Every structure is written in C-alpha cells, then in structure tokens.
Structure 1
Amino acid sequence: MSTTFQLDTATSRANPTPSPMKRLTVPAIRRRKQDGRTAEPIVMLTAYTARQAQLLDAHCDLLLVGDSLGQVIYGLPSSVPVTLDMMIAHGAAVVRGSYHSVVIVDMPFGAYEASPQQAFESAARILKETGCAGVKLEGGEAMAETVAFLTRRGIPVMGHVGLTPQAVNLLGGYNARGRSEAEAARIVADAKALDDAGAFSIVVEGVVEPIAIAATEATACPIIGIGGSAQCDGQVLVTEDMLGMFERVPRFVKRYADMGAIISCAAEQYAGEVRDRSFPGIEQTYQPK
C-alpha cells in the first residue's frame, strides 16, 4: 500500500524523499515462513510519528504503531487509556512517513473485545483513516473467532499472546508469563488458535524462552518475539527503549544507543549558550546588506 498522501518534498524537511521502492505486503511477510522455518528473520520496530517512520523504514519489514504510545508519547501509566482516535492519528503519520515497511496499527483496549462486529468497525476505521496494512489485537483462543471474522472480511490481523499489556490489571503486572506448566500450555494453545483463525503473524511477548520456541514450532504463521527467543521468526522492540530514551526498561531490551543522554547533553549546551548570550551568533542571525 502506498502512502496516503502525495508529498511535496520541496516545501518541508518533514517529508521523505520519494522512492520507487514498492511497499512490502502482508502476504509477503506471511510467506517468509515456509515449512515451519523463516530463513530471513523479520525485523519490526515501533513507530509513532512520521519522522520516526522515515528513520526506521529502510531497515524494517514491519512498523508497529503500538498502543505503547500511551506510556512512551503521552506519559500514561499503561496502554489501557489509549483511544482509537489516538491510534488513528499516529497510524496515519507513520504511513505518511514510510514507503517500504508494512505498517500495522494496534487496536486499543475496548475497541474490539465486545464482539467481532465491534472489532470490524474499529479495524475498518483504522484502515480507512490511516492507510495501514493491518491491525494487531491482544488475546488468544478467546479472540480466535474475532480474528477469523476480520480476515474473512479482508482485514489482515496480527495476534499477540503471552504477556498482554492491555490485560495488566488482570495479570497484576508485567512479569514474565508461562512459568507454570498450565500457563505455558495455554500460551502455545493461544498461538495455535490464532494461527488457525487466520492471523498472518503473532507477537509472543514476555514468556520464558521454551514457550516462544514451542509457539514458533507449532504455528504456520511467523512468530515475532519480544522477550521471547532468538529462534522466533522475527523480533520487535519499542524503539525508544532500544535507543535508550528511558532510564528503566524491561529485561528483554538491549540498548543500541543512549539517545536520552545525547538529548540531555545537547539541551544543556543550548541552555548554557542562551544564558551567556553566545547563541545566536552571527551565523544564526540575519544581518543588514
């Protein structure tokens, strides 16, 4: 799917340079797993803004507009308060800022659980108003009917099992899941149920490693791990976490940069130059001719 709007790159640095590259598709992602194996692991990161999408797009197969934006962008205590309007606004921005990756938008808590019909109405609105390629929803066997309902009506669905952040109040926190045999079996069964229902891929989050491996082996669709295993068919992280924007991150995050410190240092330098009147200098001011 192409970006939603034609962009004029001559008028704003916020717009990406047009590229002839064709955007990846949901079927192409699904086909990456053949005969139970994915030769080239799938790369996914979260994105919430057009500029972030521009920077990540060339390196990713999937960009996820996650409801984690509740905490990352809005400073909310969890993803539960996130609204459909918030997801649509950020989803449209990410689609506009990308041309290569498949863009998937999270359906927020309360927008799909009541019935398959409610889920269809929410998902249809997301696709229409953002131009994204598909939606993601949380839940296992209980959501299989909804996943089947959506896929039969032309809406690609990414599943999400294991640690499901929208259920934080029920789970009692963000601890790793699957430490008991019963819970481990249930998580694998959840992944299989979503796979059978037609999900094109499934995120498995925050589970002990053997569960992630078992789910990967038990499903025909790609399993994307986050706090799972390197043996999953792909990986996803919250971009701000892996860039080091926050002091505290989950155990499963690897920091690939310390952007928080870089931003703080730059702001400190700027503040000092403003206060000692060395900024703006001659290079940053307009002089009479």
Structure 2
Amino acid sequence: MAGELTFAQGVLLTADTLQLGATIRAGYISLSVVQPLVMSQPEGAAQGENRPILLQAGALRIEHAGGVGNLATPLITQVDHLEVITRGSDSNAAGVYLLELDGLTVGNVQIPGLSENRSGIETRGGDVFLMNLAGVLVIAADSPAATGIEAWGGDIVLTTDRLSLLAPVRSWYGGMTGGSDAQRGTLVLQPLNPYQSIGVGRGASGAFYLTNAMLEFIIDGFEDSVPGGYDGITLGRADGRHIIEIGSYAYRDSVTFRAPRLGGGIFVVGTLSTIAEAQLRLIGPTQ
C-alpha cells in the first residue's frame, strides 16, 4: 500500500499479508492480518530527514498472527486508543513492537460493526516493546478482570517519561496450551531520558513516578529466576543516570532498581519492607 490515505471516518482492512508503505489517517483503523505486519520507513526517517510513515487515528485495533513491527523497525503510531491482539489460543512467539509519537491509552477499542471481547495488548508468548515519545502512556482496562498488557511468557519493555498504570501488566502462561506457568516473562519500566528522576512508592518524588496502587498492577506478574531470587521486574535504564527515590511500600516480589551511570543515585525516603522471600536489588553508579 503506497501513497498517503485519509478517511473521514474509519477504515477496516483484512488481509493475509499487509505491507504498509504509506501513512493512513482515519477516525478509527482496524487491521486484521495473518503474516507479520510491517511498515517500511523512508531513508533518513529515523534521523528526521524524511517524514515517517505512520498510522494516525483516534482508535487503532490490530489483530494479527505473525507479529507487529520488529525491534529494528517498530510500527509508528499517533493514536489516542490502542488494542493489539494475537490470534489463536496456543503459544505464539510473535511480538509487538510499537513507537507512539505523543501519548496513548492501551485498553479496549470499540470499532463500529466489529464485535469482540478482548482488549489491551495481548501476545501468546511474544515480547512487547512499547516506546512513547511524548505525553502520557496509559495502561487501562474496562473491567476489573481484564489485563492492560498480557504477554503470556514474553518480555515487556515500556519506555516513556510519563506512565499511568490503571490495569494489570503481566506475563505468565496461566495454564495456556503449549506453555508452562514456570516460564514467566520479565518487565522493564524506564523513562526515555537517562537523566529523568524516578520516584517509587508513597512519599517518594520523581518525574517518572509509580504510586503504590500502580505497583500493585505489576507485582506477582513476572518471573522469579530462582526461589528467593530477584523478580523479573526492573525499574530504570541500563544507561540510567537517574536520581531514584524509593518510598514506603511492602514488596511481595523482588524488584531491581537501577541507575548505574555516574551522576545517578538511589535514596530510600520511606519505610521499606519485604514479604516472604522478596528481595530488593539497588544498582547504583559504577562508572
């Protein structure tokens, strides 16, 4: 598909293979594909020399079997609401790789004429990499029983300077055919900026801030490598120079806090406690 397309209302596309070589703008977009959904970018787009090709809509729903984007070339979006569902009921390593330009809400997307009961981002064991360049990344659900992101054993990386968790984010098989609950995935929550301050828990402060209620949406959702070991939850960048404040919270799972580069620091500003075998790992500046 080439040449920019604009629709006053919405567009629904169903195909075995869909290669996007043009920007699509609409009130809502629904894509259903079997093969990997890829978007070829013009030369120099990553450096700002050419306009990127993107999906631009109030609401975007993608149902796929072969994956969405890839780590080197994520699907670029500028949408308000997003839902991405992997087809089938068995294990599937197809991942979801998205780059959002200015903030979105992951949750339930209603498309006129389309009846379905799944929501958020769901893979069947594939990884989820979601980067948001501006605004707030909101993870939501329309019912207490629904998850915002479920990777069924895949790894999840959320990169954004502002994050709001209003629904569970997790990665465990839960008895799914072809998988084992022992094979849970990992979670990384990190800001775009390695200098961004991070606050976690009651009484802490930071531009990238997780409340106690937000922590409840990620605790118990990821792997433990060994009994009593560090959980698969990491806060902060691998190249982080963050000032991290850790406030009051009782951790039921082990969590890693990292600010490993010179200029970073980790400060406990509240009452810190752990439950059962949970452990906290603090990685401060080493270089």
Higher relative contact order (CA 8 A, sep 6+): 1
TM-score (norm 1): 0.30
Which protein is bigger by CA-based radius of gyration? 1
Task: State TM-score, norm by structure 2.
Answer: 0.30
